[in-house]
Structure 1
Amino acid sequence: MNPLRLLLLLALATPAICADPKPAPASAPAGKPIVLFDGSSLDDWEARDAGGSGSVEIKDKDMIIGAGDSITGVVYKKAKDLPVTNYEITLDAQRLDGVDFFCGLTFPVGSPKTCATLVLGGWGGSVTGISSIDGMDASENSTGHYRKFDNNKWYAVKLRVTPANISAWVGEEKVIDVDIEGKRIGVRAGPIEDYQPLSLTTYATMAGIRNIKLTPLAAEAPKVEKK
């Protein structure tokens, strides 16, 4: 047999030896915390007037949201650069005066156009929950509950958003844990719609806010069903 033909037949009969491909990572790495407010400037925040809104200023490195006739608050200008899911927001908040919510944290849920609001101390000062889920406010849906908040006391707040869940903590206590797959998420109709996608608001209440950070989280690995 022709030697060249023999070499060709041997090459076709021998399986190629390839390095094993590197496995795809199960999830993206968590990112470093992004400081949204460090007490030095409000340049990254835009105050909006809902009609009779109070002022927003810095005092002793705290963001002071004044008490207006209804909603007072600020919108984060660089929200387009932040993740809309798989993230945590942490901050400290305190009610300085008033009897309604002192921390209304509006945040994106999977899209800048799909948002919800974490309400602390609403509806007379004690209702805590998420507005809105399936068209129901925090005072109506399963996340809503009563919680006592003292004036002039700092509360550590943490919010976690994933494609499947919204959770929140006050201090070390987990106060909200709601699965959102298949549910309709949105903010309450009214002035708060103008404070999307990321903002902090109060209602007829003066509040102090500090140490606002957002931390991207690792995406959860997809679940593989066993056959």
Structure 2
Amino acid sequence: MDAATNETARYESFQKGRWYKIRMRVTEKGLMGWIDEKQVVGVETKGRKISIRHEVELSRPLGVSCYSTVSGLKEIKLRELTKAEAEAAIKAPELPKDEESKPSKKQDK
């Protein structure tokens, strides 16, 4: 199922000219993502097939893409989790638990 139609789909409004802190965490148990400090994605991946759209296939194994907009990247940091962080993430991934973290259907204005 495409990300535009699965439980990770989101419609967010962003301020032009403002930089946002984007953070992703990928563990054996799931995928988590934040915009600034707000968690916007939390999906358990065990038993699921994860794939990407053919348009971004060349960006594998790690890539960033945007749709119908312009984006930029700065201060990119990539690190492996420490053993303690990885063990904690496997035991209890930071998946959304409240209504605020669920996908919204709010359209940009």
TM-score of the aligned structures, taking structure 2 as reference length: 0.70
Name 1:214's counterpart in structure 2.
78
The amino acid that maps onto 2:2 is D
Counterpart Cα distance in 1 of 2:50 and 2:57 = 13
Count residues with an aligned counterpart. 87
Residues 176 and 204 of structure 1: CA distance in aligned 2, closer, same or farther (over 3 Å) = closer
Name 1:10's counterpart in structure 2.
none
| 1:158 and 2:40 are equivalent in the alignment | no
Q: Map residues 6-155 of structure 1 onto 2, 5 A cutoff.
A: 136-155=1-20
Counterpart Cα distance in 2 of 1:167 and 1:150 = 23
Deviation at 1:166, TM superposition (A): 0.3
Deviation at 1:174, TM superposition (A): 0.6
Deviation at 1:152, TM superposition (A): 1.1
Name 2:106's counterpart in structure 1.
none
Q: Percent identity?
A: 38
Counterpart Cα distance in 2 of 1:200 and 1:185 = 16
Counterpart Cα distance in 2 of 1:174 and 1:185 = 20
Q: With CA pairs under 8 Å and 6+ residues apart, which has the higher RCO, 1 or 2?
A: 2
1:198 to 48, 62, 71: 62
Deviation at 1:202, TM superposition (A): 3.2
The amino acid that maps onto 1:163 is E
Counterpart Cα distance in 1 of 2:6 and 2:70 = 26
Deviation by residue 1:45-79 (Cα, 9 ceiling, x = unmatched): xxxxxxxxxxxxxxxxxxxxxxxxxxxxxxxxxxx
Name 1:119's counterpart in structure 2.
none
Deviation at 1:204, TM superposition (A): 5.0
Name 2:33's counterpart in structure 1.
168
Counterpart Cα distance in 1 of 2:11 and 2:45 = 21
Counterpart Cα distance in 2 of 1:203 and 1:139 = 11
Larger radius of gyration: 1
Deviation by residue 1:20-53 (Cα, 9 ceiling, x = unmatched): xxxxxxxxxxxxxxxxxxxxxxxxxxxxxxxxxx
User: Could you list the runs of 5+ residues in structure 1 that have no partner in the other structure?
Assistant: 1-135
The amino acid that maps onto 1:148 is S
Counterpart Cα distance in 1 of 2:55 and 2:64 = 13
Q: Match of 2:87, SS?
A: coil
Deviation at 1:203, TM superposition (A): 3.7
Q: Match of 2:71, SS?
A: strand
Counterpart Cα distance in 2 of 1:187 and 1:160 = 17
